Structure 1
């Protein structure tokens, strides 16, 4: 396998991340998922959300006008989580379930199917976005990525990276799709708009407040997006090595290329040959930082860093908060700025 077979480039063929994603403008028609056929809810909404980014987005929309509870506990890797019978009962008792979709939550479709015709409103935050496939590049690597790979320069065969390895029904099987849209601020904006539209339909009496809260939070996301654009546009290099292939949307938005050690699942272990090729690439391109992530072991990144004399640093996919994040009062915006600082440093070494 050539090294390029392991690269997930910033572009993904003709699969763009939505018509309005590049400039952070709203989608023409935010999706309300299953809300359209459900009667409005009287009183304060009881909302369950799947994992941390969905909580962050939803809570910033509702403020104190709804009870918002995250299903996946802090410190838990969302790819591994499966709802218990109690969790399923809690979801059924809720007014609204907000989830990312794009097969991030392997259990969600069962809930959506079961909610058909009932009172539960299900909101797929990524609905309406064009979802990237977890693809492998098949071109030869003769150009050696001098100075970093430009976004979208490679052709892809659109074969799922672990389509044959995943197990149907397990939470960490994305079915070959990349669900990590929240890591691109422009796409997070669209998820916020989709959630707001659904919640406003569910609780018309609070629609004006939800809209105002949403626009205030979107202004913060737009500022974050501009910070990423300004910091990353003129970096010395454009490629970065990361342990988990979670940063394809972020890379594409800012004309970068992620070189993932493993695939879309954090638990996916690279082969010895893949490890050797990553080491070869890192040495040839004078890579000085190998990124790992929170919530999973850094052993693979540590091994490669030791082999080439590089350091490791965190690039956080924000799939859940750690105890340290909570202690330091970090949220999505704060962690994304930490990611930007880490990326900027590594790309200018």
Structure 2
């Protein structure tokens, strides 16, 4: 991946006049409200932005480093965006976005929280390495069963699809904000506790909604749903591996067809930020439906927040899986 944050070239670039953070325009990045005196928080991507906003409340200004509607796998940072990291409180997931990892290595944030430990995430160096998806589905489906729900062990970073893991991150964010702003530590802790309760309720909705289904296999555009699958006893089978841009081989497509037949799959899930052409073509060949399952890497619709999208995902899954 190309980046503007490499070595000496970056340091030279930062000496230039700087524009606004990478929000795609000349204004303030999403969620920020500069000038109100609050702690400035830069979140790597939307789920972390959501947590920071909920935990920080009125005492923080929050912006997403990844602009809305942009695939965070493809993040590149302008010199202006890199400069914003200095003196800010940064909340990120190490190993997921190489450009951000590189930028943090040459800047001096006031506070930097890597949420991977709190979330229980183990990512590969580039955060989206394709790992062995050709072996996930065989003619008898055994290999797919072996991998069901465990993609995170091979570098899946999408922990936020398990609300309980996101709740754990909320506690870590509260601690980091307390270190940056001790006067409001009590409010941060209370907000994290409230958010944790809300996320626990969301988890209960998902557990109940997916408890009794005709099939538990989800065929997805890329393997972004390992944590979701593990949390709710589903079997994930990806057309592509962890890299959403990887082209599936003819053999892989044949394996997917066999899984669809053997597991009575009625739907192939695609995403808002991934070209659906392969999934749509495969679904047409197999005579099944296509639906969107949002991996929540970005906020596509500003009117729908994290719980809204997770509930929409629940309804999409219930329809596809024939849940009672």
**TM-score, structure 2 length as denominator?**
0.79
Are 2:266 and 1:288 equivalent residues in the alignment? Answer: yes
Cα–Cα, structure 1 residues 341 and 252, in superposed 2: closer, same or farther, change >3 Å?
A: same
Q: Deviation at 1:143?
A: 4.1
What are the superposed Cα offsets for residues 146-178 of structure 1, whole Å, 9 maximum, x if unpaired?
xxx7xxx6279x9xx9xxxxxxxxxxxx99511
For the 8 Å contact 2:291–2:316, the answer to whether it is kept is yes
Q: CA RMSD in A?
A: 2.6
Match of 1:332 among 282, 291, 306: 306
Cα–Cα, structure 1 residues 270 and 139, in superposed 2: closer, same or farther, change >3 Å?
A: closer
What are the superposed Cα offsets for residues 12-65 of structure 1, whole Å, 9 maximum, x if unpaired?
xxxxxxxxxxxxxxxxxxxxxxxxxxxxxxx62111111111110100011111
Are 2:252 and 1:274 equivalent residues in the alignment? Answer: yes
- Tell me what 2:73 maps to: 79
For the 8 Å contact 1:125–1:192, the answer to whether it is kept is no
| Unpaired segments ≥5 residues, structure 2 | 1-36, 124-129
**TM-score, structure 1 length as denominator?**
0.74
**Mapping for residues 305-324 of structure 1, pairs under 5 Å:** 305-322=283-300
**Mapping for residues 29-40 of structure 1, pairs under 5 Å:** none
Q: Deviation at 1:214?
A: 1.3
- Tell me what 1:91 maps to: 85
Cα–Cα, structure 1 residues 122 and 132, in superposed 2: closer, same or farther, change >3 Å?
A: closer
Q: Secondary structure at the match of 2:236?
A: strand
**Mapping for residues 101-120 of structure 1, pairs under 5 Å:** 101=94, 103-115=95-107, 118=108, 120=110
For the 8 Å contact 1:45–1:65, the answer to whether it is kept is yes
Q: Which structure has the highest helix share of the two?
A: 2
Are 2:218 and 1:240 equivalent residues in the alignment? Answer: yes
Using the TM superposition, name which of 277-286 and 305-314 deviates more: 277-286
- Tell me what 1:62 maps to: 56
**Mapping for residues 296-311 of structure 1, pairs under 5 Å:** 296-311=274-289
Relative contact order higher in (CA < 8 Å, ≥ 6 apart): 1
What are the superposed Cα offsets for residues 283-306 of structure 1, whole Å, 9 maximum, x if unpaired?
233311000011121111101110
- Tell me what 1:154 maps to: 146
For the 8 Å contact 2:41–2:61, the answer to whether it is kept is yes
